[in-house]
Structure 1
Amino acid sequence: MVHSPAGSPVPRRRLGAHGPEVPVLGLGSWNTWDRMSMADAVALIRDALAHGVELFDVAHYDMGPHAENARTDLIFGRAIREAGVARDQYLLCGKLWLWEYPKKGFAEQMAVSLDRIGTDRADLVVVGDFFGELDVPAVVGDVAEQIAAGRFTAWGVNNWSAADVWRARRFAAEQGLTPPTFAQLKYSPARRTVPEGEPFAELFADGLVMQASDVLEGGILAGNLHPQRKIGADPGNIRDRIRAAYPLVAKVAADFDATPAQVAIAFCLANPTVATVLFGASRMSQWQDNLKALALLTHHGSALRTALTDAWADKDVMDPAASGA
């Protein structure tokens, strides 16, 4: 049981029917914790918890295009311990990769990942990233084994097609197993076609919810048009279009007396299918600035989405039925 501060300033939404109640903001791990000092990481974790943001997305990046042996999960594990945070005071969302599945099974992946962080369990996992055919029943069954083993209690998918999510949910229902309860999708004022398309709309109507990721497009939608670090994949090869859309995002931000990052976060949260938005922060000022997106959402959510209509960069590029990966 995770205990959040009474009267938490950050609103909460349920992460699908089988998921826990979570803050609408979560901190992601890729290139987050390895871009700051340990003291700053500890301070950021403590401040996040003080605001009721206890959701941390932490993964071991070591397969497929992420075969880089990143240390961000090791750093997070040390920082959360140095912050003096008990395990029941935060929600840990891990990753299970499909790049080398089933050669590298979920039991092995979880054992390695949890050991690196320094804990015996996660709360959630995201199963994701694959191309080609997927044995959906096998994945659902293997996830169920990890749930039965106490490794986590709820799960979601990362960049699956809507058709594969339907297969997973239907098979789980038939077998009495836990279905995926959320979809982690790339979503922003510029990337909208897959998460707002009809295939996923039907899933959201069925109780699935969205965990929005890549909302700042690796920093591009925050004004860093040419990030020097590795950032997420570019479905549809629209990154130049996103750069071209940035001036509009910046103008809308100025019109609403906000920052582009605040605008991007508030845009996503104004969509009722979004349960939580993941973003990275590499310094305290950035984290505190992004928190102000919540006030922007409260006062201008609908108007903001209307103002950003022309920032939609993948409207005529992506297939709504695609995975978005």
Structure 2
Amino acid sequence: MYSASQQRYDKMIYNRVGRSGLKLSAIGLGLWHNFGSVDSFENQKAIIHQAFDLGITYFDLANNYGPIPGSAEENFGQIMAGDMKPYRDEMIIASKAGYTMWPGPYGDWGSRKYIMASADQSLKRTGLDYFDIFYSHRPDPKTPIEETAMALDELVHQGKALYIGISNYDGAQTKAITTVFNELKTPFVIHQPRYNMFDRTVETDLFPVLKAEHKSAVSYSSLAQGLLSDRYLNGIPADSRAHKTTSPFLHEDQVEKTLATVKQLNQVAKDRGQSLAEMALAWNLREPEIASVLVGASRPSQLVDNVKALDHLAFTPAELTKIDHILK
């Protein structure tokens, strides 16, 4: 039977989310990969246990995570019902609705019908009474933003979510939905954008809005699907995600095109006494709007390595200038 480490809170950093009372662990665990029906359940348990022992309290799900869609929530729910049940009040558990989940016109996007049904399904799969954060996973171009906002607000009134977040909204969309949330007095506190050294669009588009509205962000794809690590420095392993994936975020050509840049960044990391992955996570956390960075893991030891990023978060102006020069 799992018993959490007594030292789990000794080294982790917890950042306040905007002006809210909520704090997130600076490193969060994303369950986008490695928690589906095709993955080892015992390994999933080991990853969750390791994460919690390291002080990681933020666990990030979505209704469609798998494969098959929904299986990540189901597997996480089984782990929660067993080993992790005594620690529920020490955990921030999030899920999302917005991408295709079931057939027909009601299983996608941001209508009230879809969001309310999806939240109920996600709670059933996880066996939870509520989510700490529930996100709109993407903006819906054909549904009024007020409808999506009011549906999310209703989840709070129903006791199904404590806080509300949005993901993949651009700056203008974020400003628009924030206006509605402010009118409703919705506890909207966080945005989840894709952000890493290779994808910096949100620095000029989204972050100024978050700063003005006193909201925070939790970044996903923080290591660019593994590009910002030593995984591909010496070629593309046969068992790597780049070799196997059909994801638009990672493919073999992308590895080849970024290799020279990655090698230069790796040298900067070495000069700092860090691995490239550690430096990439620390670089994300340099942004004041970033409360937490999400990492994925296929084995527990990866989390041990990722958390080492917190040992050296500071960058000198010269280091930041050199990184910017490399990325250009």
Q: Same fold (TM over 0.5)?
A: yes
Q: Which amino acid aligns with 1:173?
A: N
Within the alignment, does 1:184 sit opposite 2:199 as a pair? no
Q: CA deviation at 1:282?
A: 1.0
Q: CA deviation at 1:239?
A: 7.3
Residue in structure 2 matched with residue 321 of structure 1 by the alignment:
none
Q: Percent identity?
A: 24
Within the alignment, does 1:256 sit opposite 2:272 as a pair? yes
Structure-to-structure mapping, 1:146-185, within 5 angstroms: 146-174=155-183, 176-178=184-186, 180-185=188-193
TM-score w.r.t. the length of structure 2 is 0.81
Q: What RMSD, in angstroms, separates the aligned Cα atoms of the two structures?
A: 2.8
Match of 2:174, SS state, is helix
Q: CA deviation at 1:219?
A: 1.3
CA contact (8 A) 2:222 2:281 kept: yes
TM-score w.r.t. the length of structure 1 is 0.82
Compared CA separation, residues 152 and 249, structure 1 to 2 (3 A): same
Match of 2:175, SS state, is helix
Q: CA deviation at 1:190?
A: 1.4
CA distance in 1, matches of 2:257, 2:18: 32
Compared CA separation, residues 169 and 5, structure 1 to 2 (3 A): farther
Residue in structure 1 matched with residue 40 of structure 2 by the alignment:
37
Structure 1 unaligned segments of length 5 or more: list them: 314-325
Q: 2:226 aligns with which of 219, 224, 241?
A: 219
CA distance in 1, matches of 2:243, 2:325: 23
Compared CA separation, residues 178 and 19, structure 1 to 2 (3 A): farther
Equivalences, count:
302
Q: 1:279 aligns with which of 295, 300, 320?
A: 295
CA distance in 1, matches of 2:117, 2:140: 21
CA distance in 2, matches of 1:115, 1:75: 12
Q: 1:207 aligns with which of 200, 211, 214?
A: 214
Q: CA deviation at 1:57?
A: 0.2
| RCO higher in structure (CA 8 A, sep ≥6) | 1
Compared CA separation, residues 246 and 136, structure 1 to 2 (3 A): same
Compared CA separation, residues 199 and 76, structure 1 to 2 (3 A): closer
Match of 2:304, SS state, is helix
Q: 1:49 aligns with which of 43, 48, 52?
A: 52
Residue in structure 2 matched with residue 195 of structure 1 by the alignment:
202
Q: Which amino acid aligns with 1:111?
A: D
Q: CA deviation at 1:304?
A: 4.5
CA distance in 2, matches of 1:297, 1:201: 22
Q: CA deviation at 1:312?
A: 3.4
